[in-house]
Structure 1
Amino acid sequence: MKNRDRIIRYYQGTDNGELAARLIDLADSTAKGRPYAVSEFVSPGAVQIGETIQAHVPSLVLKTFGGYEGAERVKLAFVSADYDGPVDFGIIACRLSWDDRYRLLGHRDVLGSLMSLGVGRERFGDIIMQDAGAVLLADTKLVPYLQQNFTKIAMVSIAIEEMPLWDIAPRQEKVKEIKTTVASLRLDA
């Protein structure tokens, strides 16, 4: 890619230079003959980096997938424009369940337990909290490790079972309507 250094310099200002370099390498591997290349899980801001790279390489198409509709953390795939087959993002859903009468566990508890196992944030996606458990979207290669080592969250024993991705409900956007009276409709007031 001829604009590689320019793109990396631009995103180094936002501390995303290293991520931009990794995504450019993925795009280059697809441009050199692979049908597609998939990144690790990335934050929502990284999608913009992928779109910038795709704009400089017209022979590629950028696809994103996080396991369900409306996912916050997603994987990016640079796909060759002439490839029309399926893209394997390597995402699996795991249902985490525990006995909630002992303790109410939250998103922070689940995330903290995963991080304490030494699992990098790029290896798993969204954590969707439910009544007596949670759904964890993870890289398929991570699941055997989780099943063997992820046994407790904050001293509460948990059970892990795989589940199909289509069982995850789409994300509901929470909207809060605020009614107020303003002195003027001008923005500087």
Structure 2
Amino acid sequence: MTSIYQHFRSDERDFIDQVLEWRSYVETNYAPKLTDFLDPRQQRILISIIGQHHEVKYSLFPESEQVERKRVLIYPDYYIPLQDDYNVALYKLNYPEKFIRLEHRQILGSILSLGIKREKFGDIILNQPVIQFMVAEEVSHYVQMHLNQIGKNKVSLDRVAFDHLIQSEEKWREKVSTVSSLRLDVIISSIYNISRQKAKDFITGGIVKVNWRNVEQVSFDVEEGDVLSVRGLGRSKLLSIEGRTKKEKWRIIAGLLN
């Protein structure tokens, strides 16, 4: 079983063990297992481990490609999942939209301040002035009761059906470039068009995240599908690694969030 770890990063071992436990639970109990909200990297790991398994299946919700964080249902091959199995509640945020503009970070901070763990809520989707977000059903009533203020602004929540899920106003712009290596400092320098030294300073300064986790190692290897963020410069994604050029450089395609 140790060979499975070779395909992933060393700091992902705990999550790999968790996925193996979930799979074992489904195999042993012949019953479905629902995860918390997983980020795209975690989803990729889970799919890699369970994807080729014949007796254990998986499905993700919401199915929309624009949604990043999803709950995953792992289930035996006889089971037919229903939407209610995923236990996801979708809320619309009511606020004085004529007078203020709420940002993603403000909403995120307010939900976290309620003591809700990050894995218990999903995407916050903005298409101004409409704002929606998803939470796990098991904490939905608590959130609806206690999320009544963001900053100094009074807010309220309306639960809505997933038929009314909005499209995010966020748009990704593709950027094609060549890099000498897939080290984090090199990738950050290329994507954000800053010097290599500045990229190193940002990384060691603790303002760079890879897949929503702080990374302070400049030599960290970035992989296809990784989501990057630099505080103050925004979010990006390594969409694909196209191979090497004749000069032995990597050709990459990145997405930058406008």
CA distance in structure 1 between the partners assigned to 2:138 and 2:104 by the alignment: 22
Aligned-pair identity in percent equals 20
TM-score, normalized by length of structure 2?
0.61
| Inter-partner Cα distance in structure 1 for 2:104 and 2:50 | 33
Q: Secondary structure at the match of 1:84?
A: coil
Tell me the SS of whatever aligns to 1:23. Answer: helix
Measured at CA, do residues 81 and 154 of structure 1 come closer, stay the same or move farther in structure 2, by a change above 3 Å?
same
Alignment of 1:18-57 (within 5 A): 18-55=14-51, 57=53
Instruction: Count how many residue pairs are aligned between Structure 1 and Structure 2.
Output: 179
Mapping for residues 94-133 of structure 1, pairs under 5 Å: 94-133=91-130
Q: Tell me which of the two structures has the higher relative contact order, counting C-alpha pairs closer than 8 angstroms and 6 or more residues apart.
A: 1
1:175 deviation in Å?
4.9
C-alpha contact (below 8 Å) 2:127/2:167 kept by paired residues: no
Distance 1:78 1:58 in 2: 12
Q: What one-letter code is carried by the residue in structure 1 that aligns with 2:135? A: A
Q: In the alignment, what sits opposite 2:136?
A: 139
- The question of whether the paired residues in 1 share the 8 Å contact of 2:51 and 2:57 is answered with no
- Bigger mean CA deviation after superposition, 114-123 or 82-91: 82-91
Q: What is the CA–CA distance in structure 2 between the aligned matches of 1:170 and 1:35, rounded to whole Å?
A: 34
Residue in 2 that maps onto 1:82: 78
- Contact 2:31-2:75 within 8 A present in 1 as well: yes
Q: Which runs of 5+ in 1 are unaligned?
A: 180-185
Counterpart of 2:66 in structure 1 is 70
Q: Which amino acid aligns with 2:160?
A: M
Q: Structure 1 85/106 Cα, relative in aligned 2: closer, same or farther at 3 Å?
A: closer
Moved more, 116-125 or 93-102: 93-102
Displacement of 1:137: 0.7
What corresponds to 1:159 in structure 2? Answer: 156
Deviation digits for residues 51-99 of structure 1 (CA, Å, limit 9, x no counterpart): 1221463211121113645311011121211223536011010111100
- The structure-2 alpha-carbon separation of the partners of 1:7 and 1:118, relative to structure 1 and needing over 3 Å to count, comes to farther
Tell me, in whole angstroms, the C-alpha distance in 2 between the residues paired with 1:43 and 1:85.
21
Q: Distance in 1 between matches of 2:169 and 2:128?
A: 16
Whichever residue aligns with residue 88 of structure 2, its letter is I
1:177 offset after TM fit, Å?
Answer: 6.7
* Residue deviations 1:114-169 (CA, integer Å, cap 9, x gap): 11222111000010113234101110111111122111111111011111011113
For 1:132, the aligned partner's letter is P
Structure 1 stretch displaced more, 35-44 or 64-73: 64-73
